[in-house]
Structure 1
Amino acid sequence: MTRPRCRIPSVALIATLALLLTAALLPATGPAPAASGGAPITLVAAAPGDERWSADLTIVDRDDVNVRRTAAGLRLRETRSTGRGARSPHSAVAEGMLVTAPRTLARPATRVRAEINAAVPARATVEAQVRGWRAAGWTEWRAATTGAVFDRPVIRVQTRVVLTAPDGGATATVRGVQLTADANAAVSAATPGRTYRVYATRIGLVGEVTANGRTVQPRDHFAALPSRRGLSPLNTGDYTVRVCTTSGSRCEYAPVWDVGPWNTRDDYWNPSSVRENWKNLPQGRPEAQAAYQSGYNGGRDQFGRTVLNPAGVDLADGTFWDGLRLTTNAWVDVAYLWTGGGPRGVVGDGPLNIRTGASTSSATRGLAARLAHVPIQCYVTGQSVAGPFRTTTRWNRLASGQYVSHAYISSVYGGSVPVC
């Protein structure tokens, strides 16, 4: 059955940056800072070797949600609950998100800092987040106002600006965001892919809008996690989970396109040193599970609501019914694939059958959703298949030991794929 869920973003207020500080840092002969609009205001000087750039807030397109560009700056398009895309039926605030085009760096970096020039009314928020590209794909999104540190050098950086406002209240106005990349941060050892057993619930909500701007379709194929750190931009599978029944008989590779259930700042798959909230919980244990099973946080979620089930992942109807063939909420094994490494294939058309062998007559063991990123161990020669991208006898063996035809894989990244 469908259960209450929400997609409320961070409620931590990002303070309005002081223009007086800016004036003090500008040369006496330089131009006076603009009160609104125009280019972002530089607050600090870049150190030698640092790379600085301004996020382009002028382009609002299909991967952006509930934001608009005005002469004064970037604002929420709609702050009332009746506005399409402004909030979910269970949310307490309006939210919006702008995703900029990736920037290729002049040299690899391990840290990116953001400086925001914005007017932020009471109870409204603005947060600048970044992610970095390395050989294995995108890192998770990280808040950049205090400096986002990557576990290994990145060669491209993408920025995301998230705005919230109370229902019907005033929206923040973001005049500019300036980024600084450097390689001065310490780099920790790379971590392997992580898999945890968590409780899965069904999303439902057909016709409503997800946190990344997708309108939920009947029998849709995607997942929701209780943190924006693993939220894929619209029409991408940059963050993909592999969800399997506890018996391992059925699995689905599904992109993460929504935030929920219950909490929205609970990246429980991360160690406590990285985890955004609930740092005293064991890694891999969702806060909702701890609240429901042992009364953690008084049995409530981050918004003070009584937790009614221990859910750590939400599954769209197609993933729930067709991919895993579940009939009711259940425990599942979830792999958070962006925490691993190795070659990844992008499923260009789907949902694609996952099979036990390299032919269409082999038994199916689940599905790979369209745009999901699947880990490829190696490839074999099997039945020739004519697909949307090529006609080929190549079949890719996934990390789960199952196979998908290469005819449906639009691209491969993260390294070369060996012969099995």
Structure 2
Amino acid sequence: MKLSRYLLVGMVLTSSFLAVPTASAATGWQVDLAEPAAGSTNVETGPVRLGSDDNRAASADSAARTGMAVYPHTLATAANAFTATVTSTVPDGAEVAVDVRGRAAGRWTEWAEIRPGAPGVLTGAAKDVEVRVVLSAPDGVASPTVDALTITPAAGQRAPAPQPGLTYRVFATREGLVGHTTANGHKIVARDHFVALPSRRGLSAKGAGDYSVRVCAANGRCEWAPTWDVGPWNTRDDYWAAPEVRQQWGDLPQGKPASQAAYEDGYNGGKDQFGRKVKNPAGIDLADGTFWDGLKLKNNAWVTVTYQWTGTHPHGFVDTPGPVLNVRPGPNSQSPNVGLAAKHAQVRIECVVAGEQVTGSQGTTNQWYRLAEGMFVSAAHVAYGPGASPVPTC
């Protein structure tokens, strides 16, 4: 099916999608599709199409191969809403979507889909923006292609009201799947440290942690880990979002995964978005290292999750030579381990205190960041977020 010069605002393009033709906006910019940036995975250019890697939403048990092409752009004037015009070919069963995000108040906003009838709206106005083209196709279906893409800032849009950092109690399962490739192209290894959330809105690029979580178990242990896969169960359920901007199932309470509602209440006939019977209420999947080593879990369990890219706390990114950084109950390395912070994870910083002098990727310092009550990491191993607000003293 050939789609030519259509306004595309965030809903995936499939063979059944009918869009309304529109003229290309003169104030928009034409994306150079031949030059995807860092964070792109499993795509070929000229036109943009799926590559040959086996990237999938491993945690969601999805059969669709996935590729993502990311394109940065700097605006002359900050904007918080965007529409898109696309020229593409989408075979039956394949999908194309366009997302946008911006760097506001020192950190990236969540990815916003550009949807039919409404632009993608960011939580803050930004000059530095990125556009992400997401391609997917099941086995046996040819790759969709995108030949041209124009992005246009939309005037008169109101950003969602700012919120404090979001925290919800959800059911966690162990992902496992060692040797599989995640939705962002990461090859899962033994005792790995990452999580999966059921929406690509919270998906970090391979080797990055713009979208990370703090997940805490009932035993008091916590791990900070990047989101590197999509799932469990669903792939369009950003349940942490306000109902009016949730990708699907906006009639559910904020913070309640659709899988939980299906399992507990028979919501959606007790099924996920693919029509499968939901057999547990999981709203997050944990890689083996996060599950066993970070949280010391033995079985699937209810956990408390804080979505690190939400709210306005100062923030940084774990930069350590190994896969994890020990989290201590005080500002010294002799105190026992009470959790872990995975390499690349974004961490929200409550305050800073003087303690043991440590040498790491950020030099030698006696400064320690408190990430939560009774949980500290050395500032020597945390790259402070660019443009982040100053860290207060504890």
Q: TM-score, normalised by structure 1?
A: 0.85
Q: Deviations over 1:359-382 (max 9, x none)?
A: 111232101110111111221111
User: Residue 163 of structure 2 aligns to a residue in which SS?
Assistant: coil
Residue 44 in 1 paired to residue 25 in 2? yes
Residue 202 in 1 paired to residue 190 in 2? no
Shift of 1:84: 2.9
Partner of 2:4: none
Q: Read off the aligned partner of 2:327 and give its amino acid letter.
A: I
Partner of 1:33: none
Match of 1:150 among 112, 122, 134: 122
Residue 363 in 1 paired to residue 336 in 2? yes
Match of 2:63 among 85, 89, 92: 92
Partner of 1:352: 325
User: Residue 170 of structure 1 aligns to a residue in which SS?
Assistant: coil
Partner of 2:136: 164
The 1:412–1:67 alpha-carbon spacing in structure 2 relative to 1, beyond 3 Å, is closer
Shift of 1:12: 5.3
Partner of 2:376: 403
The 1:104–1:239 alpha-carbon spacing in structure 2 relative to 1, beyond 3 Å, is same
Partner of 1:29: none
Partner of 1:106: 76
Match of 2:35 among 56, 59, 69: 59
Partner of 2:99: 129
Q: Does the CA-based 8 Å contact 2:371-2:377 persist in structure 1?
A: yes
Residue 324 in 1 paired to residue 325 in 2? no
Partner of 2:390: 416
Counterpart-to-counterpart distance in 1, 2:368 and 2:57 = 42
Counterpart-to-counterpart distance in 1, 2:266 and 2:101 = 34
Q: Does the CA-based 8 Å contact 1:133-1:155 persist in structure 2?
A: yes
Q: Deviations over 1:157-177 (max 9, x none)?
A: 111101122321222221111
Match of 1:387 among 360, 370, 375: 360
Shift of 1:69: 1.5
Counterpart-to-counterpart distance in 2, 1:116 and 1:399 = 44
Shift of 1:199: 0.5
Partner of 2:48: 74
User: Residue 226 of structure 2 aligns to a residue in which SS?
Assistant: strand
Counterpart-to-counterpart distance in 1, 2:29 and 2:313 = 31
User: Residue 349 of structure 2 aligns to a residue in which SS?
Assistant: strand
Q: Read off the aligned partner of 1:63 and give its amino acid letter.
A: G
Counterpart-to-counterpart distance in 1, 2:125 and 2:40 = 27
Q: Does the CA-based 8 Å contact 2:110-2:202 persist in structure 1?
A: yes
User: Residue 417 of structure 1 aligns to a residue in which SS?
Assistant: coil
Q: Read off the aligned partner of 1:329 and give its amino acid letter.
A: N
Q: Read off the aligned partner of 2:26 and give its amino acid letter.
A: A
Q: TM-score, normalised by structure 2?
A: 0.90
Counterpart-to-counterpart distance in 2, 1:175 and 1:125 = 14
Counterpart-to-counterpart distance in 1, 2:373 and 2:45 = 45
Q: Deviations over 1:184-232 (max 9, x none)?
A: 2123321111111110000111111111111111111100000011001
Unaligned residue ranges in structure 2 (runs of 5+): 1-10
Aligned residues: CA RMSD: 2.2
Shift of 1:401: 4.2
The 1:88–1:386 alpha-carbon spacing in structure 2 relative to 1, beyond 3 Å, is closer
5 Å-filtered alignment, 1:195-344, equals 195-247=167-219, 249-344=220-315
> More deviation in 368-377 or 120-129?
120-129
> More deviation in 223-232 or 379-388?
379-388
Q: Deviations over 1:289-329 (max 9, x none)?
A: 11111211111100000111110000001100111000111
Residue 13 in 1 paired to residue 27 in 2? no
Shift of 1:17: 7.3
Q: Does the CA-based 8 Å contact 1:351-1:367 persist in structure 2?
A: yes
After TM superposition, which residue ranges in structure 1, 4 or more long, deviate above 4 angstroms?
Answer: 14-18, 86-89
Partner of 1:4: none
Partner of 1:36: none
Unaligned residue ranges in structure 1 (runs of 5+): 1-9, 26-42, 47-51
Q: Deviations over 1:235-270 (max 9, x none)?
A: 1100010000134x1000111010000000011111
Counterpart-to-counterpart distance in 2, 1:255 and 1:92 = 23
The 1:417–1:352 alpha-carbon spacing in structure 2 relative to 1, beyond 3 Å, is same
Counterpart-to-counterpart distance in 1, 2:361 and 2:124 = 35
Counterpart-to-counterpart distance in 1, 2:45 and 2:302 = 43
Q: Does the CA-based 8 Å contact 1:380-1:396 persist in structure 2?
A: yes
User: Residue 288 of structure 1 aligns to a residue in which SS?
Assistant: helix
Q: Does the CA-based 8 Å contact 1:240-1:338 persist in structure 2?
A: yes
The 1:286–1:183 alpha-carbon spacing in structure 2 relative to 1, beyond 3 Å, is same
Q: Read off the aligned partner of 1:111 and give its amino acid letter.
A: A
The 1:362–1:355 alpha-carbon spacing in structure 2 relative to 1, beyond 3 Å, is same
Q: Does the CA-based 8 Å contact 1:108-1:183 persist in structure 2?
A: no
Counterpart-to-counterpart distance in 1, 2:319 and 2:242 = 32
Q: Read off the aligned partner of 1:181 and give its amino acid letter.
A: P
User: Residue 117 of structure 1 aligns to a residue in which SS?
Assistant: strand
Counterpart-to-counterpart distance in 1, 2:311 and 2:302 = 22
Counterpart-to-counterpart distance in 2, 1:333 and 1:194 = 11
Q: Deviations over 1:365-419 (max 9, x none)?
A: 1011101111112211111112232111111111444211011112334211122
Counterpart-to-counterpart distance in 2, 1:17 and 1:312 = 32
Q: Deviations over 1:325-360 (max 9, x none)?
A: 001110000011211112101111141111111111
